[in-house]
Each structure stands twice: as structure tokens, then as C-alpha cells.
Chains A and B, each alone.
Chain A
Amino acid sequence: MQVPAPFEYERATSVEHAIALRERLGEEARFIAGGHSLLPMMKLRLANPEYLIDINDLSELFHISEESGEIRIGAMTRHRDLLDSELLAEHFPIFRDAERVIADPVVRNRGTLGGSLCQADPSEDLSAVCTAVDASCVIRSTSGERVVSMSDFHVGPYETAVGDAEMLTEIRIPLKAHAGSAYEKVERRAGDWAVVSAGAAVWMDGDVIADGRVGLAAVGPNTTSIGPVSDALRGVAPSEDLYRRVGEIAAANCSPQTDQRGTAAYKSHLALELTRRSLRRAVARAQGQEA
């Protein structure tokens, strides 16, 4: 049994309470959401927070709803609920694609959207999903709320725009017509972190792509959207040739490292191949050709 260093624990009763505690206790304190990233790190003593603020009772952070032309998802929404949500499946099937290949049922029952984004692991899947669908993040502090884009949210590996006395409370995804999205992941084994994964979202305008985005995981320090990918997609009719070209752009715009999951060359290749596959499926879905 791996055992963590000593820490103190408090269960927050409201978002305000949680943020106030965080403000008071400072950088030695951490929120604990699903605990599936934080607890393993604590057991390995890679993370040694002195205080844990449990946010599992904060019911206002558990929701998936449609409001003001957006899909809004509370930070404490569990992987399991993202997987099961019909609302998400209808508008952004990319979530269900991704959730089918994130970890295993045990982890999915506890792990949360907020925890995933705040962990900001370069291999983490939901950041790529949120990047593809152009989500924005709602960050709250005692002085109020601010909304940042995914590219501003990610500051570096394991680093986000959420400050010491702040909390991610919600992510919001704009609803636009004729959307299609899909996620593709290569893993060494079911439940393993991605060797590489790619998420794509497109919004069609008749026969051409009005807008399109791709988010990649595990190919560099950060999951960010790739500007040239969107430039290449906008206003162009979908074709196999386009998918390949965009795949090449994606591969050229990432900086994977060789590790036990694969060589840098292989990962670049996957960036291309999976971008291509996810785009192909996203377009098919936008055109109503595939559920």
C-alpha cells in the first residue's frame, strides 16, 4: 500500500465556502474532486498538499444543461455522466466517443470534468475535447467570475489559468447549427492514457465547412487549438484530400516526445492519421450520415 504524507481535510459546504478556504489556506491547499489524479500523486508523494478541500458536496457544480444558446457543464460532472448524457450526445457526440475510451468504469464513476481540465495533464482527453468544441471555462474567486477560452486556460503542462484562490466552476460550449464532432484515440491498452488522441469539430454551411477545430492530446506540453488547422478548414468543401492536408498541418504543429508510449515519429504520424479520421467522422455526423 502506498501511503500519502499527513494532510488535513475539510468538506466544503458551498462554492463560496470552498473558495474562502482556499483563499485562507493558500497554495498548500488543494481542492479534491474525483481524486483520481490527485490521490495517486499523493500516494506516490509527488504531491504533498497540507490541506484538502473536498468539493464533492457542491451540488451547484453537478449539471449538464442547455441555456442561452450554450451547453453548460458543471465542473463536478463525472466522466460517467458525460458518457451517459443524451443532451451531449445529441449536440457533441465527441464527448461520448472520448468517454468510452477514458480510463475504466471505476475511474469514470468518480473522476470529473473540472478535475481533468485543472490537472492539465498533456495526455488528458477532455482538454482536447473541450478545445475542439471551442469551450470556455468559468473561473470563480471571491471577487467574482471570469470566462476564459481553452487556449487561455492552459498555461503549461499541469498548469492552468486557475489561480490559488480560484475555482473552475463550469465549462460552456456555444451551440451553432450543423455541428459535427468526433474523437479518436490510440492507446496501448483499454484504460491507458492516450498515445495520441485527436478530437475534431466542424460546423457546416451547406456543402462547405463554415468553421472547424481540432484538439490533440499527448503531442506536446499543452492541448491548444491549432490555428492553421482552422484556417485550412474554413470555407472549404470536405474531401479526403482536405483531411489529409489538415492532418499534415496538425502533425507539423505538434511537438511530441519519445517515451514508453511511443516514439516522437510515431506520435506525429498518429497526429496526422487521427486528425484525419476524426475530421472524417465529424463531417459525416454534421451531414447526418453517421449517428
Chain B
Amino acid sequence: MTTTEPSPEAVEEERPIGFGRLLRKEDPRLIRGMGKFVDDIQLPGMLHLAILRSPMAHARIVSIDTSAAQALPKVVAVITGADLAEKGLAWMPTLSNDVQAVLATDKVRFQHQEVAFVVAEDRYSARDALELIDVEYERLDPVIDVRTALDADVPVIRDDLEGKTDNHIFDWETGDEAATDAVFDSADVVVSEEIIYPRVHPAPMETCGCIADFERVAGKLTLWCTSQAPHAHRTVYALVTGLPEHKIRLIAPDIGGGFGNKVPIYPGYVCAIVASLVIGKPVKWMEDRTENLVSTGFARDYVMKADIAATKEGKILAVRTDVLADHGAFNGVAAPVKYPAGFFGVFTGSYDLEAAYAKMTAVYTNKAPGGVAYACSFRITEAVYLVERIVDCLAYELGMDPAELRLKNLLKPEQFPYSTKTGWVYDSGNYEPALRKAMEMAGYDELRREQAEKRERGELMGIGVSFFTEAVGAGPRKDMDILGLGMADGCELRIHPTGKAVIRLSVKSQGQGHETTFAQIVAEEIGIPPEDIEVLEGDTDNTPFGLGTYGSRSTPVSGAAAALVTRKVRDKAQIIASGMLEVSVADLEWNKGSFSVKGDPSKSVTIQDIAMRAHGAGDLPEGIEGGLEAQICYNPENLTYPFGAYICVVDVDPGTAVVKVRRFIAVDDCGTQINPMIIEGQVHGGLTDGVGMATMQMIAFDEDGNCLSGSLMDYLIPTALEVPDWETGYTVTPSPHHPIGAKGIGESATVGSPPAVVNAIVDALKPYGVRHADMPLTPSRVWEAMQGNHTPPI
């Protein structure tokens, strides 16, 4: 395996047949406002659903009176948990084998939990009727601080679970505890820190919603839905509603951002389905902004005790961590079943360790459920943040430069494939050149000189380094499933008679540019221009089964499927070409778009010629059927492991503690590059997310469990004014097991950037003796750290 620079033509060519900087095919539609999102869809006779939510975090429902709401004009139905319970639909499974209330029957377990819903002829009437539902609650003490959730005297949140006497969900561990302790016991240097990754929210621009349309005569349910995983969702709905799976069609139209928020199944979807089943008309439910922020899948919420052991020369020996995970009121984590902590096991990072051990306890609290992959590849954001922060703490204690410390410990190229101490097999990597490249782009030594001068003058400048290894492309079906569904992806390619094509995939773009990327993969393999290839996703009746788009899995899994299905078609095309050119298959040469006879390039047929022959009236070689299409299901043999080196430069105003992110240098390696422009866009978005999490975002609660972050005035999204001009660079180290060597880039920057920003801010505060400070590093929290009284964000 070798690492190269991205090829210059891939970067410059404008209309490539295959890989390169192709303008996004979906953009003319999306940027002209011609996209079609769930809320754009209007069906004849469609009704509107609005949800009544609990004002309290923990309370017993004493009574619900819906009569006044029922009496409001235009109201069609008012449904409570008791009504659903009669149909056996008051509870539904979560993605983690827990159950979640669709509508509360016994008690509410988080503020804004779903209590009742109204269906009305228009959205306004539905909303007005909510005001008229009278619910009497009996307040119960809430459990809000995760650190007290397992105390003896706290209320049991999940008394619906038989025999449940505490708020414990699971214990999980990985690595070798004894071996790790032994390394720690004899190490020269041990550094410990409590590192908190606060609760954050994916906050996609489009909130979640659906239209359920049950046609009674056909017995068929069509669900237009903001779903990142249409096929998986259809199966779950079949299990929940009892409708046969072939009588459910799920259509995910254009989606305005997902980031993991649209992976879980929310009560609102089920309510809309039930309403349409009962009423027999289409029913639309669209969350408002507050509902999205306060009730749907949050992310992170890990309290991590981290220890690192090293020699006094700075050789890192072991990492150990003890994590307390807040999962909210229902365990709705989206992760493969055998991985309750997601892929947190890669907390060993990019370093060659002698030992590692992690243990985790997950608990219920009276907060919204979830724990989704917010652009984190199943908890790798937490893992990378942990290791990159504690490595910086070690650098602080050793008085070593953090870049130098990392260079000393990064895995070497000859160690790949590398088995980590927690059992992950990194497929390929060449780490040092990536970090060196970032340092060169940054002018690292010059920056350190500038920092030293500024410190002399009392100015605060910080330089933060992070190095991350991602693990994406879940996953091998022997290890990975969600609710029993293996994580392999189907894919189907049809070449039409005129040589145009349609590829059908199980994944679902939420803005990532699938219509372009997948067309380019097919184009690269078969030589049909990308604009002649239609990419079809998001309709379960018209695409093969697969598990959807999250965890950066589309390119590693469905991208591989797309390449392989195209090769299968090309193999058939070659046989047809051999008939057309009257030579044996072995005598043909592939020239990206045509087959020619070896040694006689004038004798050739294009893929378009072959397609017409395949569908035409002429003879085909013996045993070959007409048509030119194929279908496969790709089961990845391993995950892919993208990596990158990030450097962030900040200035902190010593008087106000305001942080300015001055520069950010990102060197990414996602293996083979399909469309460098799309990669660049994914990196820009993820870096912006990272600045948001590091400096301004947190879903906060008061001690009564009221959510304090229910609007975009309270939960801040960074804008162009908070971020610098991104300086990006790339190296290319292909994945050895992926058919085109691609690794996935969707979440690298979200994973890698928060530690770089935090490390930079903490570095700026070095003159104040600050070694660690938790996100979000708002001016107030930075100032607290400067005063030496930093408080945990809980």
C-alpha cells in the first residue's frame, strides 16, 4: 500500500467520466428551491397532526381530558396513550432493543415527551386544539445529573420494565484490564483527567416529519418520511404495526440534513401511521424547530475519566477510561447491536499502545432519549476527543510539544493492517506524512515562534493539534446488525438500450451528493458519462434492501456495491462485445467506455453499442440472456479507516475571554477520492460543526429537567463569521479491501475538529496554568477556566 498526493487531473478536470471534480448533479434542483422535501408534499384530503408534549420531566399522568379539543371545529381526532394502548401501540421498540413510549400512558419521563396528538384539517387548528387538552400531572422528582443516576435513593425512571429497581442500562468493557493496570503501575508518567463531551444535537435544517397514507382498499401504507434508513425503517414499521412488509412503501424524498438525527424512529412517525390507519386519510406530521431540538435524537453525553501512561521520554504506553453514559429516558442509541457503546473501542486512537482498557456504564435520566451518531461514526467523536485531549494533557505534563509527542507515537506504515489492543483492525494508514503536511501548511514552527513572542506581551494565542483515525463503513454482517438486520447493502444497475443507465441504491442522501458520487463510481467503471446515469434512492418499492446512510457508510458499503455491480455488468458487456467483434473474451481490451481488440484499436464497440445489442434483435453469444443489468449485495469484509491531521490556531482576548478561530488546517486521507469537490464540502461542513461543538453548543437542562436549548437562539449554530477560511489538504492511502480503495469522508471532520479547537484554546490558556477545560468553550467558560474555577458542563 502506498500513499500519494491526489492526482492533479482529478482535482482540476471539470467534466470527468469517472472520478474528478464534477459539479453536483443535484445542485441545480436544490439551490433553485426546486427540491422536494416531505413538507412540500400535499396530498388530496391530507390531514395534519400535532403532538401535545409534557411540560414536566418526570410526572405521573393523573388524568387527560380531551373533550374541549375534540369540540374545536376542524378537529378530526384526539388520541391519547390510553387509546394507543387499546390497540397495543402505546410502546415501540428502539434501535437498541429497549422500548419507548409512543404516547405516555403511565408517566412522562422527559420534558416534551409525547402525551397526546390531535389530527385536524389544517395545521393551525391542530396546534390550537393542543391548548385545549387538559392533562393533570403529579410531579415526581426527576433524575437530571447523570452522576447521581445510580444513587440508592433516586427515583426509578423505568418502572415500566419488569423488575427494574434502578436506572442502570448496561455495563460494557473492552480491552485487557489487568494488562493495562500493570502497564500503568510501572509507568514513569501517569496523567488523569475527567473529560466531558456534553450533550449536543444534530439540528438538521429540515426537522423530522412524515406523511402517512394508508389506502384501505389496497391495504397499503405509503410513508413519505425524513428517513436516513428507508429499508430498515420499513421493516421496523412492519414489526410495530403488524402490516405485512410488502404492503409498506417508504419514500424518503429530498432530505435537508440528517447527521444521524433521522436514523431513529420517533413517536411522531408512528402517531401519523396510526392516525392514517384509523382515519383512512393521509396524515402529515412535521416537527417544529423546538420539537426537533428537545425531543429527537441527541448525541454524546459522555462523562469520561481518562488516564494515560507514558515513559518520561514521551512514549505512550497505555490509555484507560471509565465512562458514564447518559442515554436519557429510553435507550434509543443507534448502533449495531453488539456495540452498545458504538465504536468507542477505537479510543486507542492513532498510536501504538502496549495496552488499553475501557469500561462504561450507561444510565437512564429524565432527558430526551437518543444517543445517535451525530456525524460521529458511532461514538468515534467521543473516542477521538478522549484520546486527543488526554494526549495533550500528557504533552502539558511532559513539557513536550503536542505535535512532536504525536509524531513520536503515531503508528508506522509498516504496521498496517494494524490490530489495536481493543480488537479493531485498521486497514491502511500512513500517518506521519499527513501530520507533517498539516504542519508544513500551517507553518508550525513559525506559529510557535509567534506564540512565544505574543506570550511575552501578554497576548493569548493557541495552537491545537489533533490526529484522528476514523472507523466507518459498518459493517461486516457477521459482527454488525441493527435489530437483527445485517449491515450489507444491495445495489442494482440497469443499462438502458441507448446506453443510459439507472443505479438503484438502499442508502439515502441527505445533502451529501449521492446523485453525483454514485454516478461517478458507475462512470469510472463503465465509461458512461455521469450525466447519463440516474441515481435512484429512498423508495423502498424501487430499490434493493440495505441499511441506509449514517456512520459515513454510504461510500464504503454502497459505493463498493456500486463498483462491483458495475463490474458485473461490464463482464457481461465484454461477452456481448466478443460476439459483436467475433473474437474471444480474452482478446478484448477495456478502454473505459469501449472494448477493442487487443493490438487492433480500430476494431472496437462502445458500451452504448453493446447496450443496444443487449436489448436488440441481433444474436447474442451462446447462453447469454438479453438485457444489460445486474444486482448484488455487498458485505464489507472490514470497516475502512480514514484518518487525518488537524491544526487549529486561535486568539483569545485576555480581557473578555472571547475566542477567535484564526486558522484551521485540515489534512484528510479518505483513500481514493471520487469527487474531490464533494470531499472538500464534507470537510468544510464537519469542521464548522466542530467549531460549533467546541465553542458554543450544548443541550442544557436545569435541575428540574427543563430543556434550556429549545430554539436556535439558545442552541447556537456557527455561521461563516465564526469560522476561518478552511485550509485543506489531502493524502491518498487507499483501503486495501474496498473495490475502489475509497474510505468515506462524511464524518472525519466532525470527529477530528473538536479536539483540535479545544486543544488550541487550552494551549492559549497555558499562561494561566490551564490543562483542561470542557466544551462548550463559550467566552464565559473560557473566562472561568482563566480564573481557575472551571465547572463541568452538566
Contact = CB atoms under 8 A, between A and B. Distances in A.
Nearest to B654: A273
A2 to B, nearest CB: 4
A145 to B, nearest CB: 35
A260 B127 CA distance: 29
B713 A266 contact: no
A92 interface: no
Interface stretch (A18-26, A63-71, A185-193): A185-193
Contact of B714 (A2, A190, A260, A274): A260
B437 interface: no
Interface stretch (B285-293, B439-447, B575-583): B285-293
Interface string A271-287: 00110010000000000
A267 B719 CA distance: 24
A3 B127 contact: yes
* Interface size, B (range): 20 to 34
A189 B289 contact: no
A193 B721 CA distance: 15
B600 interface: no
A209 to B, nearest CB: 22
A239 interface: no
A274 B656 contact: yes
A269 interface: yes
A73 B290 CA distance: 37
A5 B656 contact: no
Interface string B719-745: 101100000000000000000000000
B719 A191 contact: yes
A69 to B, nearest CB: 37
Nearest to B711: A44
A206 B290 CA distance: 55
B779 A1 contact: no
A262 interface: yes
Contacts of B124: 3, 6
* SS of A interface (majority): loop
A260 B696 contact: no
Contacts of B713: 192-193
Interface string A229-269: 00000000000000000000000000000001111011101
B700 A269 contact: no
Interface in B276-296: 286, 288-290
Contacts of B700: 260
Contact of B779 (A5, A44, A193, A262): A262
Contacts of A190: 719, 721-722
Interface in B108-126: 123-124
A33 interface: no
A2 B696 contact: no
B702 to A, nearest CB: 10
B599 interface: no
Contact of A5 (B131, B696, B714): B131
B780 interface: yes
A95 B779 CA distance: 24
A133 to B, nearest CB: 23
A266 B123 contact: no
Contacts of A113: none
Nearest to B709: A260
B655 A273 contact: yes
A195 interface: yes
B716 A189 contact: yes
B342 to A, nearest CB: 28
A4 to B, nearest CB: 8
B35 interface: no
Contact of B780 (A3, A44, A266): A266
Nearest to B289: A2
A93 to B, nearest CB: 21
Contacts of A2: 288-290
A270 interface: yes
B347 interface: no
Nearest 5 pairs between A and B by C-beta?
A262-B780, A190-B721, A266-B780, A2-B288, A189-B716
15 contacts: A1-B288, A2-B290, A44-B290, A186-B658, A186-B779, A189-B716, A189-B722, A190-B721, A191-B719, A191-B721, A195-B780, A262-B783, A265-B787, A270-B656, A273-B656
Interface of A: 1-3, 5-6, 44-45, 186, 188-193, 195, 260-263, 265-267, 269-270, 273-274, 277
Interface of B: 39, 123-124, 127-128, 131, 286, 288-290, 655-658, 695-696, 700, 708-709, 711, 713-714, 716, 718-719, 721-722, 778-780, 783-784, 787
